[in-house]
């Protein structure tokens, strides 16, 4: 087994962030309803994810933008674009909810949770394609 790369660390941290996300869901859906704890765990997940987006994923994305534009139709660049769009939208909505609550917030939060989960699954696919296969 080789040494751990920044991309391995990113995947591990993303899974930890998703665990924080699930704990946040528990605090709003479970028996111990606590909007304070829900907001705390979701805020931590959103903040940590934003840090990783700027430090690791965003840097990598902009480094390879030329390749992503030239070969957008190939599997690797295609999953990169889908991951960036879906994940970016989920992160943007999450940050928005920290500061403002829209009407029909449950629908918006469910949509955001779905986007975040899809982005994580696509991110795992991305990681597998680029770093495992």
Burial class (CB in 10 A: 0-12, 13-18, 19+), 101: exposed
pLDDT band at 132 (very low <50, low <70, confident <90, very high): very high
* CA gyration radius, the chain: 16
Sequence ranges of the domains in the chain: 6-132
79-103 residue pLDDT tens: 999 999 999 999 999 999 988 887 8
Whether the CB-CB separation of 119 and 57 falls below 8 Å is answered with: no
Whether the CB-CB separation of 123 and 83 falls below 8 Å is answered with: yes
pLDDT band at 69 (very low <50, low <70, confident <90, very high): confident
pTM, full prediction: 0.91
């Amino acid at each position: 087994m080789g040494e751990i790369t920044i991309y391995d660390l990113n995947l591990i941290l993303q899974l930890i962030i998703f665990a924080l996300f699930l704990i946040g869901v528990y605090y709003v859906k479970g028996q111990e309803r606590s909007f304070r704890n829900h907001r705390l765990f979701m805020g931590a997940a959103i903040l940590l994810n934003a840090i990783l987006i700027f430090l690791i994923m965003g840097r990598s994305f902009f480094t390879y933008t030329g390749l992503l534009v030239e070969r957008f139709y190939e599997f690797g660049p295609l999953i990169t674009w889908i991951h960036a769009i879906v994940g970016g939208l989920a992160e943007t909505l999450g940050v928005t909810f920290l500061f403002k609550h829209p009407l029909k917030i449950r629908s918006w939060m469910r949509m955001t949770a779905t986007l975040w989960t899809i982005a994580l699954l696509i991110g795992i696919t991305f990681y597998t394609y680029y770093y495992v296969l």
